[in-house]
């Protein structure tokens, strides 16, 4: 890696940090100004804005015929968003999950991951399939706008003093500046990281799944971590779920329409990486339902699994002799213990809720 790449890497990290602070500050204030719940802002403005780098990189890659980078970027980003970003945010502070996210947005995220997998089973995502995905995103946004107006439990009444044109303009300016910093910073960082990875002879799919996915997801990292530190936990969780929806519905949808002959999907991605994406999406459901809180130890498990997944990709790319042993340990020891622990914790929480509800019912009868 040259000195220029090192400088670009450092500058990119700085821009991402400043951009994340500016975006979260503007988004949280905009929510209060417009009387919109922070979770809605996190699922839309912040999520879609921080996913702009994925959209730019994937469209550019698809147009140039580098489908593995485009697909790997989306799949890898979704895995990174859940395991790493949500995990790190929960390690900073336990993430309280809004009930509407568990009941609506997480199932929709799982459905979009399944739709991507089935669309790619024939080895290519056609233009009409991409248009369907984009239409799904449009429908989702329309529903979110109507829901934010109709659901009084989600809406927070903003101060009349805040609802002024100057206040609105300043909030939008914070968001715009943050987005520009995030996009430019991620561009610098990805360029330097890809140059380093290619110097090691790594395949385009691995680059897309790791370096590009993590690099283009750094805006989500910055936004979610800053949101967690500032106590805007609805924005942090909504950012992850909304970004995953945007990646599948918009990024893949648009890429498959601009690509000359649709978006090819490799067998390797279909056999392993897409199932992993679906699995981690499904894993959100019982974790979120467990008291509607992502606890620190659960965040630690998510982060550990991301490093395990990345380590597996490195071993596989290098054809290391330790790959079979590592795979067996993960498949027959780590995964069963994790599933058992999460299941027991979920059942314990469910039983505790039932006992609490029964106690309240008895007190009311008395």
pTM: 0.79
Instruction: Round the CA-based radius of gyration of the chain to a whole number and report it.
Output: 21
Under a CB-based contact definition with an 8 Å cutoff, are residues 233 and 227 in contact?
Answer: yes
Q: What is the pLDDT of residue 161?
A: 38
Q: Let me know if residue 33 belongs to a domain.
A: yes
Under a CB-based contact definition with an 8 Å cutoff, are residues 176 and 25 in contact?
Answer: no
Q: What is the pLDDT of residue 12?
A: 80
Q: Let me know if residue 258 belongs to a domain.
A: yes
- What is the full per-residue pLDDT of the chain (366 aa) written as tens digits? 578 877 887 888 788 778 777 877 787 677 767 766 766 776 777 777 767 777 777 777 777 777 888 888 899 989 999 999 999 989 988 888 888 788 888 999 999 999 999 999 999 999 899 999 999 988 887 887 677 666 544 444 444 434 444 477 888 888 888 888 877 877 787 777 677 767 767 776 787 788 778 877 777 787 788 888 887 777 778 888 888 998 899 889 988 887 778 889 989 889 889 999 998 998 888 778 776 788 898 899 999 999 999 888 888 877 788 888 888 887 787 777 777 776 777 677 777 777 877 787 777 776
Q: Let me know if residue 27 belongs to a domain.
A: yes
Cβ-Cβ contacts under 8 Å for 70 (sequence gap 6 or more): 57, 58, 59, 61, 62, 208, 255, 259, 263
First to last CA, the chain: 74
Distance (Å, rounded) from C-alpha 173 to C-alpha 181?
Answer: 12
Q: Let me know if residue 183 belongs to a domain.
A: yes
CA distance to 130, 137, 233, per residue, from 259 (Å):
10, 19, 37
Q: Let me know if residue 302 belongs to a domain.
A: no
Q: Let me know if residue 320 belongs to a domain.
A: no
Closest of 55, 269, 303, 276 to residue 179, by C-alpha: 55
CA distance to 84, 88, 132, 226, per residue, from 298 (Å):
11, 10, 35, 20
Under a CB-based contact definition with an 8 Å cutoff, are residues 239 and 82 in contact?
Answer: no
Provide the CATH number for the domain around residue 178: 1.20.1420.30
Q: Let me know if residue 363 belongs to a domain.
A: no
Give the number of C-alpha atoms closer than 13 A to the C-alpha of residue 304, restricted to the C-beta side.
Answer: 10
Instruction: Write the DSSP symbol of residue 320.
Output: -
> Domain range spanning residue 225?
3-285
Q: DSSP secondary structure string, 204-254?
A: HHHHIIIIIHHHHTHHHHHHHHHHHHTT-HHHHHHHHHHHHHHIIIIIIHH
Q: DSSP secondary structure string, 94-124?
A: -EE--HHIIIIIHHHHHHHHHHHHHHTTTSE
Q: What is the pLDDT of residue 300?
A: 92
Instruction: Domain count for the chain, please give it.
Output: 1
Q: Let me know if residue 366 belongs to a domain.
A: no
């Amino acid at each position: 890696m040259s000195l220029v790449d090192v400088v670009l890497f450092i500058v990119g990290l700085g821009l991402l940090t400043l951009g994340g602070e500016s975006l979260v500050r503007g988004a949280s204030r905009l929510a209060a100004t417009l009387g919109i719940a922070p979770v809605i802002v996190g699922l839309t403005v912040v999520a879609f804005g921080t996913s702009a780098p994925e959209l730019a990189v994937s469209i550019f890659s698809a147009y140039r015929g580098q489908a593995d980078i485009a697909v790997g970027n989306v799949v890898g980003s979704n895995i990174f968003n859940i395991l790493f970003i949500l995990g790190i945010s929960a390690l900073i502070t336990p993430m309280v999950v809004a009930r509407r996210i568990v009941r609506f947005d997480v199932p929709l995220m799982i459905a979009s991951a399944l739709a991507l997998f089935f669309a790619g089973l024939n080895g290519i995502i056609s233009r009409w399939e991409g248009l369907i995905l984009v239409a799904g995103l449009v429908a989702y946004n329309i529903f979110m706008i109507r829901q934010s107006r109709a659901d009084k439990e989600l809406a927070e009444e903003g101060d009349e003093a805040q609802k002024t044109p100057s206040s609105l303009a300043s909030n939008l300016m914070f968001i715009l500046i943050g987005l520009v910093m995030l996009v430019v910073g991620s561009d610098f960082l990805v360029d330097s990281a890809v140059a380093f990875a290619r110097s090691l002879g790594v395949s385009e799919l691995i680059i897309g799944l790791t370096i590009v996915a993590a690099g283009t997801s750094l805006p989500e990292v910055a936004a979610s971590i800053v949101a967690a530190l500032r106590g805007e936990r609805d924005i942090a969780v909504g950012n992850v779920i909304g970004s995953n929806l945007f990646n599948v519905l918009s990024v893949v949808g648009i890429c498959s329409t601009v690509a000359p002959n649709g978006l090819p999907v490799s067998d390797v991605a279909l056999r392993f990486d897409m199932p992993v994406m679906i699995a981690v999406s499904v894993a959100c459901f019982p974790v979120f339902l467990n008291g509607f809180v992502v606890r620190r130890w659960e965040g630690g498990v998510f982060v550990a699994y991301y490093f395990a997944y990345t380590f597996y990709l490195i071993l596989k790319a290098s054809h290391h002799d330790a790959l079979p042993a590592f795979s067996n340990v993960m498949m027959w020891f780590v995964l069963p213990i994790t599933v058992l622990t999460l299941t027991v914790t979920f059942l314990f929480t469910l039983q505790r809720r039932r006992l609490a509800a029964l106690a309240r019912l008895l007190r009311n009868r008395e």
